[in-house]
Amino acid sequence: MINVTKPFLPPLEEYEYYIKGIWKREWLTNNGPLVNELELRLKDYLDVPHLFFVSNGTIALQLAIKVLGLKGEIITTPFSFVATTSSIVWEGCIPVFVDIDPATLNIDPALIEAAITSNTTAILATHVYGNPCDVDAIQVIADKYNLKVIYDGAHAFGTNYKSKSVFSYGDLNTLSFHATKLFHTTEGGAIITHDASVAKEIAHMRNFGYDGPEHFYGLGINGKNSEFHAAMGLCNLKYVSEILLRRKEQSERYNTKLLSLKVSKPVIKLHIEYNYSYYPIIFESEQALVKAVEALHGVYVYPRRYFYPSLETLNYVPQQKVSISSDHSKRVLCLPLYHDLSLEEIDMICRALLRSQNY
Protein backbone atom coordinates (compact mmCIF):
# COMPACT_ATOMS: atom_id res chain seq x y z
CA MET A 1 0.00 0.00 0.00
CA ILE A 2 1.31 3.44 -0.95
CA ASN A 3 -0.21 6.39 0.90
CA VAL A 4 0.00 10.03 -0.15
CA THR A 5 2.72 10.59 2.45
CA LYS A 6 4.72 8.86 5.14
CA PRO A 7 6.77 10.46 7.93
CA PHE A 8 10.53 10.70 7.60
CA LEU A 9 12.11 8.96 10.58
CA PRO A 10 15.77 9.41 11.54
CA PRO A 11 17.95 6.49 12.67
CA LEU A 12 16.50 5.22 15.94
CA GLU A 13 19.80 5.44 17.77
CA GLU A 14 20.00 9.17 17.04
CA TYR A 15 16.60 9.74 18.63
CA GLU A 16 17.50 7.46 21.54
CA TYR A 17 20.56 9.62 22.24
CA TYR A 18 18.30 12.61 22.95
CA ILE A 19 15.76 10.51 24.86
CA LYS A 20 18.44 9.26 27.23
CA GLY A 21 19.35 12.87 27.98
CA ILE A 22 15.71 13.67 28.74
CA TRP A 23 15.55 10.68 31.12
CA LYS A 24 18.71 11.85 32.87
CA ARG A 25 17.54 15.45 33.29
CA GLU A 26 13.90 14.58 34.04
CA TRP A 27 12.95 17.82 32.29
CA LEU A 28 10.14 16.88 29.94
CA THR A 29 8.49 20.15 28.98
CA ASN A 30 8.21 23.84 29.98
CA ASN A 31 10.88 25.35 27.71
CA GLY A 32 13.54 22.73 28.24
CA PRO A 33 17.08 22.70 26.81
CA LEU A 34 16.15 20.74 23.67
CA VAL A 35 13.33 23.17 22.86
CA ASN A 36 15.79 26.04 23.22
CA GLU A 37 18.37 24.28 21.07
CA LEU A 38 15.83 23.52 18.34
CA GLU A 39 14.66 27.14 18.26
CA LEU A 40 18.24 28.37 17.93
CA ARG A 41 19.03 25.93 15.13
CA LEU A 42 15.83 26.73 13.26
CA LYS A 43 16.51 30.47 13.50
CA ASP A 44 19.94 29.84 12.07
CA TYR A 45 18.71 27.54 9.29
CA LEU A 46 15.89 29.89 8.26
CA ASP A 47 17.88 33.09 8.95
CA VAL A 48 15.11 34.70 11.01
CA PRO A 49 15.52 36.70 14.25
CA HIS A 50 12.66 35.37 16.41
CA LEU A 51 11.12 31.88 16.25
CA PHE A 52 8.96 30.14 18.84
CA PHE A 53 8.40 26.39 18.85
CA VAL A 54 4.74 25.71 19.66
CA SER A 55 2.44 22.73 19.99
CA ASN A 56 1.10 22.75 16.41
CA GLY A 57 0.52 24.91 13.36
CA THR A 58 -3.06 25.73 14.34
CA ILE A 59 -1.99 27.23 17.66
CA ALA A 60 0.62 29.19 15.73
CA LEU A 61 -2.11 30.73 13.57
CA GLN A 62 -4.29 31.52 16.58
CA LEU A 63 -1.35 33.11 18.40
CA ALA A 64 -0.53 35.19 15.33
CA ILE A 65 -4.04 36.60 15.17
CA LYS A 66 -4.17 37.16 18.92
CA VAL A 67 -0.77 38.79 19.32
CA LEU A 68 -1.52 41.32 16.57
CA GLY A 69 -4.82 42.17 18.25
CA LEU A 70 -6.78 41.62 15.06
CA LYS A 71 -10.50 42.29 14.96
CA GLY A 72 -13.14 42.49 12.27
CA GLU A 73 -12.41 41.09 8.82
CA ILE A 74 -9.34 39.17 7.70
CA ILE A 75 -8.85 38.64 3.98
CA THR A 76 -7.80 35.07 3.27
CA THR A 77 -7.77 32.26 0.75
CA PRO A 78 -10.45 29.60 0.32
CA PHE A 79 -7.85 27.16 -1.04
CA SER A 80 -5.95 25.94 2.03
CA PHE A 81 -6.19 23.51 4.92
CA VAL A 82 -9.21 24.17 7.11
CA ALA A 83 -7.09 25.51 10.02
CA THR A 84 -6.32 28.67 8.04
CA THR A 85 -10.00 29.62 8.13
CA SER A 86 -11.05 28.01 11.41
CA SER A 87 -8.34 29.92 13.29
CA ILE A 88 -9.76 33.21 12.04
CA VAL A 89 -13.26 32.26 13.20
CA TRP A 90 -11.95 30.81 16.49
CA GLU A 91 -10.35 34.16 17.29
CA GLY A 92 -13.64 36.00 16.72
CA CYS A 93 -12.78 37.46 13.32
CA ILE A 94 -14.57 37.17 9.99
CA PRO A 95 -12.86 35.44 7.05
CA VAL A 96 -13.31 37.29 3.77
CA PHE A 97 -12.37 35.01 0.91
CA VAL A 98 -10.50 36.29 -2.11
CA ASP A 99 -10.31 33.94 -5.07
CA ILE A 100 -7.08 32.30 -6.19
CA ASP A 101 -4.78 32.73 -9.14
CA PRO A 102 -5.52 29.74 -11.42
CA ALA A 103 -1.82 29.47 -12.31
CA THR A 104 -0.30 29.33 -8.82
CA LEU A 105 -3.39 28.39 -6.72
CA ASN A 106 -2.36 31.10 -4.24
CA ILE A 107 -4.53 34.06 -3.28
CA ASP A 108 -4.78 36.48 -6.23
CA PRO A 109 -3.39 39.90 -5.21
CA ALA A 110 -5.25 41.56 -8.10
CA LEU A 111 -8.53 40.77 -6.31
CA ILE A 112 -7.56 41.79 -2.78
CA GLU A 113 -8.20 45.54 -2.94
CA ALA A 114 -11.81 45.05 -4.00
CA ALA A 115 -12.41 43.02 -0.83
CA ILE A 116 -11.00 45.61 1.59
CA THR A 117 -13.49 47.48 3.77
CA SER A 118 -13.25 49.78 6.76
CA ASN A 119 -13.41 46.61 8.92
CA THR A 120 -10.43 44.88 7.29
CA THR A 121 -7.44 44.48 9.61
CA ALA A 122 -5.18 41.89 7.95
CA ILE A 123 -4.39 39.56 5.10
CA LEU A 124 -3.78 35.89 5.95
CA ALA A 125 -2.40 34.08 2.90
CA THR A 126 -1.16 30.53 2.41
CA HIS A 127 1.94 29.49 0.47
CA VAL A 128 0.00 26.66 -1.18
CA TYR A 129 2.02 23.44 -1.56
CA GLY A 130 5.08 25.45 -0.52
CA ASN A 131 4.79 27.70 -3.58
CA PRO A 132 5.25 31.31 -2.36
CA CYS A 133 2.47 33.85 -2.69
CA ASP A 134 3.16 37.06 -4.58
CA VAL A 135 4.61 38.55 -1.41
CA ASP A 136 5.74 41.77 -3.12
CA ALA A 137 2.28 42.62 -4.44
CA ILE A 138 0.61 41.69 -1.16
CA GLN A 139 2.97 43.93 0.81
CA VAL A 140 2.24 46.91 -1.46
CA ILE A 141 -1.48 46.50 -0.73
CA ALA A 142 -0.91 46.02 3.00
CA ASP A 143 1.20 49.17 3.20
CA LYS A 144 -1.37 51.18 1.25
CA TYR A 145 -4.21 50.22 3.59
CA ASN A 146 -2.22 49.78 6.82
CA LEU A 147 -2.98 46.06 7.08
CA LYS A 148 -1.04 43.34 8.87
CA VAL A 149 0.17 40.35 6.85
CA ILE A 150 0.30 36.78 8.18
CA TYR A 151 1.59 33.94 6.03
CA ASP A 152 0.47 30.38 6.67
CA GLY A 153 3.71 28.64 5.78
CA ALA A 154 2.68 25.15 6.83
CA HIS A 155 3.95 23.77 3.51
CA ALA A 156 6.84 26.15 2.93
CA PHE A 157 9.74 24.91 5.06
CA GLY A 158 12.86 25.05 2.89
CA THR A 159 11.38 27.34 0.22
CA ASN A 160 13.32 30.50 -0.64
CA TYR A 161 12.28 33.61 -2.54
CA LYS A 162 14.87 36.02 -3.93
CA SER A 163 17.59 34.06 -2.11
CA LYS A 164 15.89 34.50 1.28
CA SER A 165 13.65 32.21 3.29
CA VAL A 166 10.04 32.77 2.37
CA PHE A 167 9.52 33.37 6.10
CA SER A 168 11.41 36.66 5.74
CA TYR A 169 8.27 38.33 4.39
CA GLY A 170 5.15 39.61 6.14
CA ASP A 171 4.54 40.57 9.77
CA LEU A 172 4.20 37.01 11.06
CA ASN A 173 4.74 33.56 9.60
CA THR A 174 3.35 30.31 10.94
CA LEU A 175 4.74 26.84 10.36
CA SER A 176 3.50 23.30 10.86
CA PHE A 177 5.83 20.53 11.95
CA HIS A 178 3.18 17.82 11.78
CA ALA A 179 4.41 14.30 10.98
CA THR A 180 3.23 14.64 7.37
CA LYS A 181 5.51 17.62 6.67
CA LEU A 182 8.94 17.31 5.05
CA PHE A 183 10.44 18.64 8.29
CA HIS A 184 8.54 17.45 11.33
CA THR A 185 8.70 17.15 15.10
CA THR A 186 5.95 14.47 15.22
CA GLU A 187 3.50 17.18 16.28
CA GLY A 188 4.46 20.81 16.41
CA GLY A 189 4.66 24.17 14.76
CA ALA A 190 6.32 27.55 15.02
CA ILE A 191 5.63 31.24 14.76
CA ILE A 192 8.15 33.70 13.32
CA THR A 193 8.33 37.46 13.77
CA HIS A 194 10.91 40.11 12.89
CA ASP A 195 9.68 42.50 15.59
CA ALA A 196 11.30 42.20 19.02
CA SER A 197 8.29 43.70 20.81
CA VAL A 198 5.95 41.18 19.18
CA ALA A 199 8.39 38.41 20.06
CA LYS A 200 8.15 39.43 23.73
CA GLU A 201 4.35 39.16 23.58
CA ILE A 202 4.47 35.73 21.93
CA ALA A 203 6.96 34.44 24.51
CA HIS A 204 4.50 35.21 27.30
CA MET A 205 1.35 34.34 25.39
CA ARG A 206 2.37 30.76 24.50
CA ASN A 207 2.99 29.99 28.19
CA PHE A 208 -0.36 30.93 29.76
CA GLY A 209 0.74 34.56 30.03
CA TYR A 210 3.22 33.77 32.81
CA ASP A 211 5.98 36.24 33.62
CA GLY A 212 7.74 34.32 36.37
CA PRO A 213 6.30 31.66 38.70
CA GLU A 214 3.88 33.96 40.54
CA HIS A 215 3.09 36.72 38.08
CA PHE A 216 0.99 36.97 34.91
CA TYR A 217 2.07 39.29 32.13
CA GLY A 218 -1.27 39.02 30.34
CA LEU A 219 -3.68 36.69 28.57
CA GLY A 220 -2.10 33.46 27.39
CA ILE A 221 -2.65 29.90 26.30
CA ASN A 222 -0.81 26.60 26.58
CA GLY A 223 1.06 26.69 23.28
CA LYS A 224 4.27 25.04 24.52
CA ASN A 225 5.84 21.92 23.10
CA SER A 226 7.82 19.13 24.76
CA GLU A 227 11.40 17.92 24.88
CA PHE A 228 10.39 14.71 23.09
CA HIS A 229 9.06 16.63 20.11
CA ALA A 230 12.09 18.89 20.07
CA ALA A 231 14.32 15.80 20.06
CA MET A 232 12.63 14.56 16.88
CA GLY A 233 13.10 17.99 15.31
CA LEU A 234 16.80 18.08 16.18
CA CYS A 235 17.27 14.65 14.63
CA ASN A 236 15.38 15.53 11.47
CA LEU A 237 16.88 18.97 10.90
CA LYS A 238 20.25 17.48 9.97
CA TYR A 239 18.57 15.58 7.10
CA VAL A 240 16.63 18.49 5.57
CA SER A 241 19.05 19.05 2.69
CA GLU A 242 18.92 15.35 1.82
CA ILE A 243 15.11 15.35 2.06
CA LEU A 244 14.81 18.37 -0.24
CA LEU A 245 17.10 16.83 -2.86
CA ARG A 246 15.23 13.53 -2.75
CA ARG A 247 11.85 15.19 -3.21
CA LYS A 248 13.18 17.16 -6.17
CA GLU A 249 14.43 13.93 -7.76
CA GLN A 250 11.07 12.23 -7.19
CA SER A 251 9.13 15.20 -8.57
CA GLU A 252 11.28 15.30 -11.67
CA ARG A 253 10.61 11.59 -12.18
CA TYR A 254 6.86 12.27 -12.07
CA ASN A 255 7.38 15.15 -14.53
CA THR A 256 9.18 12.89 -16.99
CA LYS A 257 6.77 9.96 -16.76
CA LEU A 258 3.56 12.04 -16.87
CA LEU A 259 4.39 14.21 -19.88
CA SER A 260 1.50 12.75 -21.89
CA LEU A 261 -1.05 12.84 -19.05
CA LYS A 262 -3.74 15.45 -19.65
CA VAL A 263 -3.11 17.48 -16.51
CA SER A 264 -1.47 20.76 -15.56
CA LYS A 265 0.59 21.77 -12.53
CA PRO A 266 0.80 24.92 -10.42
CA VAL A 267 3.22 27.44 -11.85
CA ILE A 268 6.44 28.08 -9.91
CA LYS A 269 7.47 31.64 -10.81
CA LEU A 270 10.90 33.23 -11.09
CA HIS A 271 13.29 33.74 -8.16
CA ILE A 272 11.82 30.79 -6.23
CA GLU A 273 13.81 27.88 -4.79
CA TYR A 274 10.97 25.41 -4.37
CA ASN A 275 10.87 22.75 -1.65
CA TYR A 276 8.80 20.12 -3.54
CA SER A 277 6.65 19.55 -0.49
CA TYR A 278 3.78 18.12 -2.58
CA TYR A 279 3.18 16.83 -6.09
CA PRO A 280 -0.19 18.26 -7.17
CA ILE A 281 -1.72 17.71 -10.59
CA ILE A 282 -4.80 19.46 -11.98
CA PHE A 283 -7.14 17.39 -14.16
CA GLU A 284 -9.27 18.76 -16.97
CA SER A 285 -12.44 17.67 -15.14
CA GLU A 286 -13.55 16.20 -11.83
CA GLN A 287 -14.70 13.12 -13.74
CA ALA A 288 -11.15 12.53 -14.99
CA LEU A 289 -9.83 12.94 -11.44
CA VAL A 290 -12.30 10.44 -10.01
CA LYS A 291 -11.39 7.96 -12.74
CA ALA A 292 -7.69 8.36 -11.92
CA VAL A 293 -8.29 7.89 -8.20
CA GLU A 294 -10.23 4.68 -8.87
CA ALA A 295 -7.37 3.38 -11.02
CA LEU A 296 -4.81 4.17 -8.31
CA HIS A 297 -6.92 2.55 -5.61
CA GLY A 298 -6.99 -0.53 -7.82
CA VAL A 299 -3.22 -0.88 -7.38
CA TYR A 300 -3.31 0.08 -3.66
CA VAL A 301 -2.12 3.64 -4.15
CA TYR A 302 -3.91 6.30 -2.12
CA PRO A 303 -3.45 9.92 -3.27
CA ARG A 304 -5.36 12.80 -1.69
CA ARG A 305 -7.71 15.45 -2.98
CA TYR A 306 -5.86 18.25 -1.29
CA PHE A 307 -7.52 20.78 -0.82
CA TYR A 308 -11.07 19.62 -1.19
CA PRO A 309 -13.63 20.98 -0.69
CA SER A 310 -12.95 24.69 -1.12
CA LEU A 311 -13.32 26.43 2.26
CA GLU A 312 -16.21 28.73 1.31
CA THR A 313 -18.36 25.60 1.75
CA LEU A 314 -17.75 25.50 5.52
CA ASN A 315 -20.95 25.84 7.51
CA TYR A 316 -19.52 28.46 9.89
CA VAL A 317 -18.42 31.12 7.39
CA PRO A 318 -20.46 33.71 5.48
CA GLN A 319 -21.47 32.51 2.02
CA GLN A 320 -19.11 33.88 -0.60
CA LYS A 321 -18.52 33.13 -4.28
CA VAL A 322 -15.02 32.10 -5.29
CA SER A 323 -15.49 30.30 -8.56
CA ILE A 324 -11.84 29.54 -9.38
CA SER A 325 -11.11 27.97 -5.99
CA SER A 326 -14.37 26.04 -6.12
CA ASP A 327 -13.57 24.70 -9.58
CA HIS A 328 -9.91 23.88 -9.00
CA SER A 329 -10.52 22.16 -5.66
CA LYS A 330 -12.59 19.58 -7.55
CA ARG A 331 -9.79 18.88 -10.02
CA VAL A 332 -6.59 18.86 -7.91
CA LEU A 333 -4.99 15.63 -6.77
CA CYS A 334 -1.78 15.23 -4.75
CA LEU A 335 0.21 12.14 -5.66
CA PRO A 336 2.32 10.17 -3.16
CA LEU A 337 5.57 11.90 -2.21
CA TYR A 338 7.77 10.92 0.71
CA HIS A 339 11.43 10.23 1.35
CA ASP A 340 11.64 6.50 0.78
CA LEU A 341 9.14 6.32 -2.08
CA SER A 342 11.18 4.57 -4.78
CA LEU A 343 11.49 5.66 -8.39
CA GLU A 344 10.11 2.25 -9.38
CA GLU A 345 7.01 2.89 -7.27
CA ILE A 346 6.63 6.28 -8.94
CA ASP A 347 6.85 4.57 -12.34
CA MET A 348 4.07 2.18 -11.30
CA ILE A 349 1.88 5.07 -10.12
CA CYS A 350 2.43 6.85 -13.42
CA ARG A 351 1.54 3.76 -15.46
CA ALA A 352 -1.74 3.45 -13.56
CA LEU A 353 -2.55 7.10 -14.20
CA LEU A 354 -1.79 6.84 -17.90
CA ARG A 355 -3.94 3.70 -18.22
CA SER A 356 -6.85 5.50 -16.54
CA GLN A 357 -6.66 8.20 -19.20
CA ASN A 358 -6.99 5.67 -22.00
CA TYR A 359 -10.03 3.80 -20.64
User: pLDDT tens, 16-59?
Assistant: 999 999 999 999 999 999 999 999 999 999 999 999 999 999 99
Residue-wise pLDDT for 137-146, tens only, equals 999 999 999 9
pLDDT of residue 358: 81
Contact 83, 58 (CB under 8 A): yes
**pTM over the 0.75 mark:** yes
What pLDDT, on a 0 to 100 scale, did the predictor assign at position 359?
Answer: 65
Residue 9: pLDDT over 90: yes
Residue 229 has pLDDT above 90, yes or no: yes
Set out the domains of the chain in order of their start, with CATH numbers. Answer: 2-98+106-237 (3.40.640.10), 240-358 (3.90.1150.10)
Contacts of 165 (CB under 8 A, 6+ apart): 46, 47, 48, 159
Q: What phi, psi does 79 have (nearest 5°)?
A: -110, 85
Residues 211 and 68: their CA atoms lie apart, in Å, by 19
Instruction: Tell me the Cα Rg of the chain.
Output: 21
What are 179-213's pLDDT values in tens digits?
999 999 999 999 999 999 999 999 999 999 999 88
Q: Please tell me whether residue 337 adopts helix, strand or coil conformation.
A: coil
Residues 321 and 97: their CA atoms lie apart, in Å, by 8
